[in-house]
Chain A
């Protein structure tokens, strides 16, 4: 299918990009890797007036060490994220989840920031960012601001990035202590979106779970934290029974959708099973 006609801008710096967005009229879409935007434009689900292509904004690519955090440029491709030594060392959960995103071709073009700012509740990376307490740096003509993952995901396909703004980088805190991580993804075919997935990040201490952070994919209109499970696990003994008992609360406070792949009650059930499996693996059991 052929997209409706649109204006096209290809800036080379963040400042130029912000200018282009400001000048682009009422309906501006930012093109990162294009793996979601181009198809919806071809289906004419989206018909933006202007497309601002970030493909040549070099400053948005790459991963750097920033002391207590690693910083991932919004335009870093999935492939580059997965294979980055800093990511593998400090946030292996991101590498693990990114490996499950779509297929090789998509991972070669799709970007970390693009996937997050698209905020597809079935996408894998938002729940991971939530579980890792990532921070989102948003640039506007007035300057930059940082929001937490909890504030970033506002609603279905909606984030804290306001009109005229741009997600420029994601700060992932380095974790101190003995951490284990696991992404449990449930889908029907390899390249499909998650029906449900669970990102578990667990800090172990003397045979106990000192802290657990659990992100849920596709259990509502935004990624969610399984707060009841986290509370039940905090300070608990790291045993299969404890984890299984805690995981039964995984669907509390969620509002999953019903579609071809799963109705809501089945998603709630899956969340429990996958949470148990993810936490068990992250706890090293």
Chain B
């Protein structure tokens, strides 16, 4: 036996990255036995309820709070007038153009309301029930103004104005022109020279993020300090913004996002209710809580999407694409919130998709309407871009008589061409569209389904079959700070992490990327276990509290692993580097002679001479025997600022059955192959893809926030706003290719939004493929059975839906779920 074999080594721990670990945080999240904000009870806590406008647009002529003030348990009733001097404006951090118009956004309306659900007063009471009871006792008189609801009318001739102190309903006009930017040819010239031009108008309906946990805020004053617990995605951003809005100094404000039950972008916000809660706590010197009802959430938490897209594509007759021109109307709703204007701008550089265009021009008008403000929703700008390009590629294929996949293949970036700088100026990092596509076709059983489609057509089967593609890419890892700066965003895009080695050898990882259901605690533990060579179970991940994780930019834009995880890895490398000096001292060896594997430093060529990271942690704590001139700490932190975005891609293929008798559409099979770079935890990736698919399919088939002619939200409960459940979705056949992202030490590209971005056009393309031979050219989303039936029988895109809520459930609409109906709005239809 050799000396090496005699070493009492333990096996190096199994590699954690790549292991499909179950999430360590799930037991507490699923059972709810955790720190949801609404679970919090503080001594003497008061409860808030918000009085909301039942009309879309009006001057407030009077508010009488006297009866409510006298109601049992009521402590105070505050109107917008009462807080006008201290409430400031809800901030917009993304002035996308220098001349962007921001009308200002009071947390409680003072003179005018601009959407149904806007806060007009707040009740403070000793119990939630008392607060709720008093809401009905506040008497508000409104002088009605015309409601601006339609973006095309709002930007047309002599429109009514959403804000009468502004000159128009336009907030901004943002342009990216590849010719002017030097990233492409002159767009007008390319279109003038083109052999084929196809133009379409697509509608991105308004959606509601519909996170599982309703929003909740608790504020505790302590002298002139305030602690806010909020169900937010962005405690760090919230702290800065609250300080700026309310004047409470930043260092006197601590914000905690405890466990948060989902957000999908819907909690990437500084909400009126957060500001109101802080103002009330400051004024009364008492802890307060506000928790929304589901109806309030659907009506007043920010909405998403809502664009009208005019898309022109130019090509030659052989199907080589030449130019792309996009004109977008983006509905801001009544006010600008945190990143409302930035959402369409995030899409501005992605409409060209994976294709090689010579010329590209994007222009977008941000439009005010008397509806709930829009802002980030899963994908934020990129689903809109992906939908437009993947739909117009199908339309071009039809025009050219080409197979839609052949047209894509002819124009997409080839694997050997990466890194590739696009006509929009983005440098795509890595990928292989052909391989992903081949795998997706195999997963679907493409040839067999095409044959069945043919059989059904020939036999004139009432149930027709169609197949739709989405060969997509997106940009993730928000974001390189310099790029954000060039787009006038108000902050950077870096992320921070710190690692603390505890005396017993356990590890605390502090991350500035605040999870709200993504599984950071598990994934970060896997990353750190590998880098430090410690057991997975020995790692604890701390997050979400600005006094625990003081630096961070939180979670959105598929950034957590790509940016936040990279910071964690870099911090771990620094810990190892510091520990190496200590190890060299303890082992009386040169740092250069040390190997570090499996959590142990050993001296090369000197068997049996080793020290573990845990032993070093204890030695550092004691600091009895430490190298000269070295501070006794091996803790480290790191801030990672990416140089480029990462660009996940994939091919999604949907096979759709359309019952031509009823218009019912049903997904027969769905296959997708995503390249999200290195996969840290396959189970989490699979879960993210499934959830994303559910939401992307939901946009195609189920969800739409519908307003009636008076600006009432008629989809104010889950009876009318249809969020699909597992029962309504097919089995998903998923796969991956792996091309590492070169821009971060993990090689990950981001997966949080991929499924949601990719799936919507695949589903719509599939439905159209099933019925195009019957004369259908387009069907508006969501593809309700009625719309599909009308498109089949009357032509057109299926038309407008009736705006009345369903009569089922007692026509479950009230002033608090919809607003006030008038004969004109026909709210509730025949109920």
A contact set with B: CB distance below 8 Å: 1-2, 4-5, 36, 39-40, 43-46, 120-123, 156-157, 186, 188-195, 218, 221, 257-263, 266, 269-270, 273-274
Contacts A2-B128, A120-B810, A221-B830 given; does A263 touch B662 at CB 8 Å: no
Cβ of B65 within 8 Å of any chain A Cβ, yes or no, is no
Q: Which residue of A lies closest to B293 (CB)?
A: A1
Complex: A144 Cα to B679 Cα, angstroms: 69
Once the chains bind, are A259 and B662 in contact (CB under 8 Å)? no
Cβ of B417 within 8 Å of any chain A Cβ, yes or no, is no
Once the chains bind, are B816 and A39 in contact (CB under 8 Å)? no
Contacts A2-B132, A189-B728, A190-B728 given; does A121 touch B807 at CB 8 Å: yes
Contacts A43-B295, A43-B817 given; does A189 touch B725 at CB 8 Å: yes
Interface flags for B192-208 (1: CB within 8 Å of A; 0: not) read 00000000000000000
- When distances are taken between beta carbons in the complex, the residues of chain B under 8 Å from A121 are 807-808
Once the chains bind, are B295 and A45 in contact (CB under 8 Å)? no
Once the chains bind, are B722 and A188 in contact (CB under 8 Å)? yes
Complex: A36 Cα to B808 Cα, angstroms: 10
Once the chains bind, are A43 and B829 in contact (CB under 8 Å)? no
Once the chains bind, are B661 and A43 in contact (CB under 8 Å)? no
Find the residue from B702, B785, B807, B817 having the highest chain A CB count within 10 A.
B807
Once the chains bind, are A261 and B812 in contact (CB under 8 Å)? no
Q: Which residue of A lies closest to B664 (CB)?
A: A186
Complex: A198 Cα to B702 Cα, angstroms: 23
Contacts A259-B804, A260-B803 given; does A39 touch B809 at CB 8 Å: yes
- When distances are taken between beta carbons in the complex, the residues of chain A under 8 Å from B132 are 1-2
Q: Which of B133, B785, B808 contacts A123 (CB 8 A)?
A: B808
Cβ of B419 within 8 Å of any chain A Cβ, yes or no, is no
Once the chains bind, are B808 and A122 in contact (CB under 8 Å)? yes
Q: Which residue of B lies closest to A121 (CB)?
A: B807
Once the chains bind, are B784 and A258 in contact (CB under 8 Å)? no
Interface size range on B against A: 35 or more
Find the residue from A36, A189, A194, A263 having the highest chain B CB count within 10 A.
A189
Once the chains bind, are B725 and A258 in contact (CB under 8 Å)? no
8 contacts between A and B (CB under 8 A): A2-B129, A45-B814, A156-B807, A189-B728, A190-B727, A193-B719, A260-B804, A274-B662
Once the chains bind, are A266 and B806 in contact (CB under 8 Å)? no
Once the chains bind, are B816 and A192 in contact (CB under 8 Å)? no
Cβ of B479 within 8 Å of any chain A Cβ, yes or no, is no
- When distances are taken between beta carbons in the complex, the residues of chain A under 8 Å from B714 are 260
Once the chains bind, are A45 and B812 in contact (CB under 8 Å)? yes
Cβ of B790 within 8 Å of any chain A Cβ, yes or no, is yes
- When distances are taken between beta carbons in the complex, the residues of chain A under 8 Å from B664 are 186
Once the chains bind, are A189 and B722 in contact (CB under 8 Å)? yes
Find the residue from B662, B727, B790, B829 having the highest chain A CB count within 10 A.
B662
Q: Which of B722, B727, B785, B805 contacts A259 (CB 8 A)?
A: B805
- When distances are taken between beta carbons in the complex, the residues of chain B under 8 Å from A270 are 662
Once the chains bind, are B830 and A258 in contact (CB under 8 Å)? yes
Once the chains bind, are A40 and B812 in contact (CB under 8 Å)? yes
- When distances are taken between beta carbons in the complex, the residues of chain B under 8 Å from A191 are 725, 727
Complex: A45 Cα to B706 Cα, angstroms: 21
Q: Which of A1, A36, A221 contacts B810 (CB 8 A)?
A: A36
Q: Is the interface of B mostly helix, strand, loop or mixed?
A: loop
- When distances are taken between beta carbons in the complex, the residues of chain B under 8 Å from A43 are 295, 717, 812, 814, 816-817
Within B451-487, the residues touching A (CB, 8 Å) are: none
Once the chains bind, are B810 and A157 in contact (CB under 8 Å)? yes
Once the chains bind, are A44 and B809 in contact (CB under 8 Å)? no
Complex: A188 Cα to B810 Cα, angstroms: 19
Cβ of B786 within 8 Å of any chain A Cβ, yes or no, is yes
Cβ of B801 within 8 Å of any chain A Cβ, yes or no, is yes
Would you give the shortest CB distance from A190 to chain B, in whole angstroms?
4
Once the chains bind, are A192 and B722 in contact (CB under 8 Å)? yes
- When distances are taken between beta carbons in the complex, the residues of chain B under 8 Å from A259 are 802, 804-807, 829-830
Contacts A186-B662, A260-B706, A263-B786 given; does A40 touch B810 at CB 8 Å: yes
Once the chains bind, are B816 and A188 in contact (CB under 8 Å)? no
CB-based A-B contact count at 8 angstroms: 116
- When distances are taken between beta carbons in the complex, the residues of chain B under 8 Å from A156 are 807, 831
Q: Which residue of B lies closest to A255 (CB)?
A: B830
Would you give the shortest CB distance from B822 to chain A, in whole angstroms?
17
Q: Which residue of B lies closest to A120 (CB)?
A: B808
Once the chains bind, are A257 and B805 in contact (CB under 8 Å)? no
Q: Which of A40, A190, A221 contacts B725 (CB 8 A)?
A: A190
Within B694-730, the residues touching A (CB, 8 Å) are: 702, 706, 714-715, 717, 719-720, 722, 724-725, 727-728
Cβ of B524 within 8 Å of any chain A Cβ, yes or no, is no
Cβ of B789 within 8 Å of any chain A Cβ, yes or no, is yes
Interface flags for B290-302 (1: CB within 8 Å of A; 0: not) read 0001010000000
Would you give the shortest CB distance from B794 to chain A, in whole angstroms?
10
Would you give the shortest CB distance from A200 to chain B, in whole angstroms?
17
Once the chains bind, are B128 and A39 in contact (CB under 8 Å)? no
Contacts A189-B702, A221-B830, A260-B714 given; does A1 touch B812 at CB 8 Å: no
Q: Which of B715, B728, B830 contacts A257 (CB 8 A)?
A: B830
- When distances are taken between beta carbons in the complex, the residues of chain A under 8 Å from B728 are 189-190
Would you give the shortest CB distance from A260 to chain B, in whole angstroms?
5
- When distances are taken between beta carbons in the complex, the residues of chain A under 8 Å from B295 are 1, 43
Q: Which residue of A lies closest to B787 (CB)?
A: A266
- When distances are taken between beta carbons in the complex, the residues of chain B under 8 Å from A194 are 808
Once the chains bind, are A188 and B702 in contact (CB under 8 Å)? yes
Complex: A273 Cα to B792 Cα, angstroms: 15
Would you give the shortest CB distance from B582 to chain A, in whole angstroms?
57
Complex: A273 Cα to B659 Cα, angstroms: 11
Complex: A103 Cα to B728 Cα, angstroms: 12
- When distances are taken between beta carbons in the complex, the residues of chain A under 8 Å from B806 are 122, 193, 259-261
- When distances are taken between beta carbons in the complex, the residues of chain A under 8 Å from B661 are 273
Complex: A1 Cα to B717 Cα, angstroms: 12
- When distances are taken between beta carbons in the complex, the residues of chain A under 8 Å from B804 are 257-260
Within B741-776, the residues touching A (CB, 8 Å) are: none
Complex: A257 Cα to B789 Cα, angstroms: 18
Contacts A260-B804, A273-B661 given; does A120 touch B809 at CB 8 Å: yes
Q: Which residue of A lies closest to B727 (CB)?
A: A190
Once the chains bind, are B807 and A262 in contact (CB under 8 Å)? no
Within B7-45, the residues touching A (CB, 8 Å) are: none
Q: Which residue of B lies closest to A118 (CB)?
A: B810
Would you give the shortest CB distance from B819 to chain A, in whole angstroms?
14
Contacts A2-B129, A43-B295, A186-B662 given; does A266 touch B722 at CB 8 Å: no
Complex: A122 Cα to B830 Cα, angstroms: 13
Q: Which residue of A lies closest to B810 (CB)?
A: A40
Q: Which residue of A lies closest to B793 (CB)?
A: A269
Complex: A250 Cα to B387 Cα, angstroms: 40
Would you give the shortest CB distance from A38 to chain B, in whole angstroms?
12
Would you give the shortest CB distance from B803 to chain A, in whole angstroms?
7
- When distances are taken between beta carbons in the complex, the residues of chain A under 8 Å from B727 are 189-191
- Nearest 10 interchain pairs by C-beta: A122-B808, A193-B808, A257-B830, A190-B727, A258-B802, A259-B804, A1-B293, A2-B132, A189-B728, A259-B829
Complex: A43 Cα to B815 Cα, angstroms: 9
Once the chains bind, are B706 and A269 in contact (CB under 8 Å)? no
Once the chains bind, are B786 and A39 in contact (CB under 8 Å)? no
- When distances are taken between beta carbons in the complex, the residues of chain B under 8 Å from A257 are 804, 807, 829-831
Would you give the shortest CB distance from B284 to chain A, in whole angstroms?
22
Would you give the shortest CB distance from B183 to chain A, in whole angstroms?
44
- When distances are taken between beta carbons in the complex, the residues of chain A under 8 Å from B725 are 189-191
Q: Which residue of A lies closest to B811 (CB)?
A: A45
Complex: A142 Cα to B359 Cα, angstroms: 84
Within B626-672, the residues touching A (CB, 8 Å) are: 661-662, 664
Complex: A273 Cα to B462 Cα, angstroms: 12
- When distances are taken between beta carbons in the complex, the residues of chain A under 8 Å from B831 are 156, 257
- When distances are taken between beta carbons in the complex, the residues of chain B under 8 Å from A36 are 809-810
Q: Which residue of B lies closest to A272 (CB)?
A: B661
Would you give the shortest CB distance from B660 to chain A, in whole angstroms?
10
Complex: A46 Cα to B809 Cα, angstroms: 12
Complex: A1 Cα to B728 Cα, angstroms: 28
Would you give the shortest CB distance from B207 to chain A, in whole angstroms?
15
- When distances are taken between beta carbons in the complex, the residues of chain B under 8 Å from A269 are 789
